């Protein structure tokens, strides 16, 4: 495999959030199209890839632009103010590219250094990998089916977690080794399963492989993925996934508040002589929503910045950093869901129509809240750490 290296993944390398902002108005205009298609339009996906967003956090020497988790969060949040589904696909693409970085450096660069490359995948080990050899090349034969395959229809390379039962991990459990396998788009079959209430445009269908041969240079032992020379890999994968979900939620909530403000200034509720903007209940709930979003956003970015400082200065983040990232991301999603609920309720009958952005934001946020990375049990886990009752940081 040879790579055509990116000549500076253009706009995203310069100022990622500003580059993302340039897409927002188009995303708002195309949101109904994205929902109807149930996946990201191909032309849009390619342009986002050309802007360097899929490889945003991939280190430069592996073919990416080497930006920080802070840039990652800001890009995803900004895109989500335009469309939550597009932002979701980009965050999955960014995290999947980092999983591919677990390959040997030259192999990772051959994939991630290709101009306009697009990535997707699922971390969960839903596949079975059996050691095999084909035409003198060693590797694995892989069978499995993965749910929540966001962005797979647009991706060139798709990852999937698998268990190699013929190999044992190095820990004391003697459990099989978990590997991240990297499939070509032609290796997988996408199943039409994504008929859902929200985030419809993510194209998060199941995908399947049946006895597909994957060469060893496209299979990484998941436990060995950390590369000490790159501080981005100090961030735990669970925390990194949570950051993407939190950022989508923050973008959705900001857009919902803006939408309600526009509605309130123009709408005079039936039986009233005053616009919605003149009602005291509107003033109260707008203030509540702003407080929810701004306070959770401040906590969210503070924990990411604290962890990034530790990772860059000391090449290590503490259990406390990991704990706080999980808490702040979960809190951001819950707070934003409440803010969007307030805006949806304030708008009265307007959001029940399919063309209402508030309806879409309400549906999207309530799919995001169901993700296991930000579900209520995260509070239980984090609470045990605050009480000193838990020390298994791997759960973070």
**Digit-coded pLDDT (tens) for 69-128:** 999 999 999 999 999 999 999 999 999 999 999 999 999 999 999 999 999 999 999 999
pLDDT band for 6, please (50, 70, 90 cuts): very low
pLDDT at 135: 93
Give the single-character DSSP code of 148.
Answer: -
For 128, counting Cβ atoms within 10 Å of its Cβ (0-12 exposed, 13-18 middle, 19+ buried), the class is middle
47: which 2 tokens? 């342009």
**Digit-coded pLDDT (tens) for 307-354:** 999 999 977 899 999 999 999 999 999 999 999 999 999 999 999 999
Query: What's the angle, vertex CA 42, arms to CA 200 and CA 210, rounded to 5?
Result: 75
Task: Quote the percentage of the chain above a pLDDT of 90.
Answer: 81
In this predicted structure, the answer to whether residue 11 has a pLDDT above a threshold of 70 is no
**Digit-coded pLDDT (tens) for 46-76:** 999 999 999 999 999 999 999 999 999 999 9
Q: How many CB atoms lie within 10 A of CB 314?
A: 11
Domains in the chain, please, with CATH? 10-112 (1.10.540.10), 121-224 (2.40.110.10), 235-395 (1.20.140.10)
Task: Quote the percentage of the chain above a pLDDT of 70.
Answer: 92
pLDDT at 228: 63
Contact 69, 317 (CB under 8 A): no
pLDDT at 166: 74
pLDDT band for 394, please (50, 70, 90 cuts): confident
Contact 358, 256 (CB under 8 A): yes
What is the Cα–Cα distance from 290 to 173, expressed in whole angstroms? 48
Q: CA–CA distance from 48 to each of 20, 99, 335 (Å)? A: 9, 20, 29
Q: How many CB atoms lie within 10 A of CB 305?
A: 14
* Residue from 340, 337, 344, 339 nearest 375 by CA: 337
pLDDT at 270: 74
What is the Cα–Cα distance from 264 to 284, expressed in whole angstroms? 13
pLDDT at 316: 85
């Amino acid at each position: 495999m040879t790579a055509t290296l990116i000549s500076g993944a253009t706009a995203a390398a310069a100022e990622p959030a500003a580059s993302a902002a340039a897409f927002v108005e188009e995303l708002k205009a195309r949101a109904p199209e994205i929902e109807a298609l149930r996946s990201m339009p191909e032309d849009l996906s390619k342009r986002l890839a050309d802007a360097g967003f899929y490889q945003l956090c991939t280190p430069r020497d592996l073919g990416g632009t080497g930006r920080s988790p802070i840039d990652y969060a800001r890009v995803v949040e900004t895109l989500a103010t335009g469309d939550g589904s597009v932002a979701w696909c980009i965050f999955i693409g960014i995290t999947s590219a980092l999983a591919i970085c677990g390959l040997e450096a030259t192999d990772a660069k051959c994939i991630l250094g290709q101009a306009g490359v697009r990535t997707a995948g699922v971390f969960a080990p839903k596949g079975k990998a059996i050691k095999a050899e084909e035409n003198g090349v060693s590797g694995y034969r892989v069978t499995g089916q993965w749910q929540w395959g966001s962005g797979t229809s647009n991706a060139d390379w798709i990852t999937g977690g698998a268990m190699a039962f013929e190999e044992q991990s190095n820990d004391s459990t003697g459990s099989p080794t978990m590997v991240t396998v990297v499939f070509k788009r032609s290796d997988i079959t996408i199943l039409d399963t994504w008929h859902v209430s929200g985030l419809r445009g993510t194209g998060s269908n199941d995908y399947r492989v049946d006895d597909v041969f994957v060469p060893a240079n496209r299979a990484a032992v998941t436990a060995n993925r950390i590369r000490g020379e790159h501080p981005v890999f100090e961030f735990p994968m669970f925390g990194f996934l949570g950051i993407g979900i939190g950022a989508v939620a923050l973008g959705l909530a900001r857009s919902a508040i803006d939408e309600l403000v526009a509605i309130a200034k123009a709408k005079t509720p039936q039986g009233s002589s005053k616009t919605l903007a003149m009602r005291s209940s509107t003033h109260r709930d707008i203030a509540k929503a702003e407080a929810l979003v701004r306070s959770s956003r401040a906590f969210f970015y503070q924990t990411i910045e604290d962890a990034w400082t530790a990772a860059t200065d000391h090449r290590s983040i503490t259990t406390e950093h990991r704990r706080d990232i999980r808490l702040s991301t979960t809190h951001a999603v819950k707070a934003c869901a409440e803010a969007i609920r307030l805006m949806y309720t304030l708008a009265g009958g307007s959001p029940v129509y399919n063309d209402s952005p508030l309806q879409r934001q309400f549906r999207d946020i309530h799919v995001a809240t169901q993700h296991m990375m930000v579900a209520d049990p995260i509070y239980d886990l984090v609470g045990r750490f605050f009480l000193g009752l838990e020390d298994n940081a791997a759960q973070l």
